[in-house]
Chains A and B, each alone.
Chain A
Amino acid sequence: MASSDAEGLSIPIDDYETLLSTTDVELLKRAWRNEKAAPDILRFETDLIGRIREQIQLMEETAEEKSAAGVDPLSLSLYQMDLDRAQFLLRSYLRIRIQKIEKFVFHIAKTEELWNKLSREEKNFARRCTEDLKQHLEDSVLSKLPENYQSFQKQSVISEEDDMIPEAQLDTFVVCRSKEYLTGIQLEDGPVDDRSMLFEMEPGVLYFICYKSIKALVESGKIDLL
């Protein structure tokens, strides 16, 4: 976020843009966009969120000081809007994640890879969510069914795997863009013969591709979702 002194914003445009592209707000915007577009839950950005919260706190305090110091309303409202936008991004990021957890709580709870992507507070929320939902299903349906059919994870005792748990659809298509030249992407869908073909991505070009094929690259930060 651009710093400003009591007289108002006074940073030359070039420096402002460079500053903007590496700021935490840009990183938050990027994490937010990825999280919004991905069908699956991504890794929680602990450090980034920690820094953003500190910065928002600082901005709120500065806004109060400015308002008390009688800074002109225009600068103040620009400052306030910047603050609001950052707060919106933060709230939306957390909200999207919580809603994904709500939707796929059983699957996330039993898949270690997904569980480790949650923050500590999200894990607590997920634990409570699992308990509540499980209890609700048991009380409404499962306790009334005959013995071998009472599991909320399996259809019956005969099922070999947990066939009643909803999972995120990883083969939805997403729009994405890469920052660098990437080769060796294997397509996960389409006719089996095509799958052995390796696909490449040029930087800055938009692609519409099956999420499963690029999941690892999104997680490592090489591809952005839009």
Chain B
Amino acid sequence: MYGRKACQLVKELASGEKGQLTPFNSDLFEQVVAECTQHHLELQALIRKMQEEGLDVQTTRNAEHHGALIRHLSLVRNKRCLMAYVYNRAETIQSFLWKIGHVLPQEIEEKLCHLEVEYFKKHSAALKSYMSKMQLDLTVDMVPPKDPYIQVRVLDDIGDGIVLSDDKTANFARHSMHFLKRTDAEQFISRGLMEELTG
């Protein structure tokens, strides 16, 4: 049945959790592309047949025309499914920049195909370029500030000698607690390396 595989690709996309990616299904992807090539060959064959019979391709409505139309529409539908698959994954990849940062953890990078990893790097570079021209880091300060300083506990050994925004150095050993500027702590909290102590 035409379009079934493409439908499966899109369903895979829809069934994943929002903001998460499933591994790039290159097998299925290639199969859909192959189906498109097949459609196109058939389409061209049908059109050639009509031309050989001396019929006007634009206006004749015979069996070949309908066959060609079905091929064309199936091809276009497959294209839409493939584009949707790649485009939606690209949008999720863009969101990683904001949620996670410029370096992707191993478990996420495994799920991306090689082209997607390239795209992430390029997008990250574009954003960095904008932020440096504006001289502002836009990936911090995601939540309206209640207090300028917050208490945090370090969950994983980050190391010592980390330089903070006020040029002081800090030693972030595991389980240690610190009173930091919100904007300094945010990048560690979003990576799960620190937690905020509320109350």
Q: Size of chain B's interface in residues, with CB distance under 8 A?
A: 41
Q: Scoring A residues 55 to 85 as 1 if CB is less than 8 Å from chain B, else 0, what string do you get?
A: 0000000000000000000000100110011
Q: B148 interface residue, CB < 8 Å from A?
A: yes
Q: Is the CB of B86 within 8 A of A92?
A: no
Q: In the complex, what distance in Å separates the CA atom of A84 from the CA atom of B133? A: 21
Q: Is the CB of A99 within 8 A of B98?
A: yes
Q: In the complex, what distance in Å separates the CA atom of A136 from the CA atom of B114? A: 11
Q: A128 interface residue, CB < 8 Å from B?
A: yes
Q: A94 interface residue, CB < 8 Å from B?
A: yes
Q: Is the CB of A136 within 8 A of B36?
A: no
> What are the residues of chain B within 8 A of A103 when measuring CB–CB?
91
> What are the residues of chain A within 8 A of B90 when measuring CB–CB?
133, 136-137
> For chain A residues 92-118, which have a beta carbon within 8 Å of chain B?
92, 94-95, 98-99, 102-103
User: Given A99-B98, A125-B126, A155-B76, do A94 and B134 touch, yes or no (CB 8 Å)?
Assistant: yes
Q: A88 interface residue, CB < 8 Å from B?
A: yes
Interface of B, secondary structure class, is: helix
Q: In the complex, what distance in Å separates the CA atom of A164 from the CA atom of B115? A: 21
Q: A139 interface residue, CB < 8 Å from B?
A: yes
Complex interface: stretch among B136-144, B153-161, B168-176, B188-196: B136-144
Among residues of A, the one whose C-beta sits closest to the C-beta of B97 is A102
How many Å from the CB of B70 to the closest CB on chain A? Answer: 14
> What are the residues of chain B within 8 A of A192 when measuring CB–CB?
none
Q: In the complex, what distance in Å separates the CA atom of A133 from the CA atom of B141? A: 27
Q: Is the CB of A94 within 8 A of B36?
A: no
Q: Is the CB of A94 within 8 A of B138?
A: yes
User: Given A103-B91, A122-B130, A124-B130, do A137 and B148 touch, yes or no (CB 8 Å)?
Assistant: no
Q: In the complex, what distance in Å separates the CA atom of A81 from the CA atom of B181? A: 11
Q: Is the CB of B37 within 8 A of A146?
A: yes
Among residues of A, the one whose C-beta sits closest to the C-beta of B136 is A91
Q: Is the CB of B115 within 8 A of A129?
A: no
Q: Is the CB of B138 within 8 A of A95?
A: yes
Q: A10 interface residue, CB < 8 Å from B?
A: no
Q: Scoring A residues 119 to 138 as 1 if CB is less than 8 Å from chain B, else 0, what string do you get?
A: 00110110011001101110
How many Å from the CB of B40 to the closest CB on chain A? Answer: 4
Q: In the complex, what distance in Å separates the CA atom of A139 from the CA atom of B90? A: 13
Q: A90 interface residue, CB < 8 Å from B?
A: yes
> What are the residues of chain B within 8 A of A9 when measuring CB–CB?
none
Among residues of A, the one whose C-beta sits closest to the C-beta of B93 is A136
> What are the residues of chain B within 8 A of A149 when measuring CB–CB?
36, 40, 75-76, 79
Q: A4 interface residue, CB < 8 Å from B?
A: no
> What are the residues of chain A within 8 A of B129 when measuring CB–CB?
124-125, 128
Q: Is the CB of B115 within 8 A of A140?
A: yes
Q: Is the CB of B130 within 8 A of A121?
A: yes
List 18 A-B residue pairs with CB atoms under 8 Å apart, sorted by A's residue number: A81-B147, A87-B141, A88-B141, A91-B136, A95-B138, A98-B127, A122-B130, A125-B126, A125-B130, A132-B122, A132-B123, A140-B113, A140-B115, A145-B33, A149-B76, A155-B76, A156-B72, A164-B83
Which B residues are closer than 8 A to A by beta carbons?
Answer: 33, 36-37, 40, 72, 75-76, 79-80, 82-83, 86-87, 90-91, 94, 98, 113, 115-116, 118-119, 122-123, 125-127, 129-130, 133-134, 136-138, 140-141, 144-145, 147-148, 182
Known A-B contacts: A135-B119, A146-B36. Give 7 more (CB < 8 A).
Answer: A92-B141, A121-B130, A125-B127, A132-B126, A136-B115, A141-B86, A145-B36
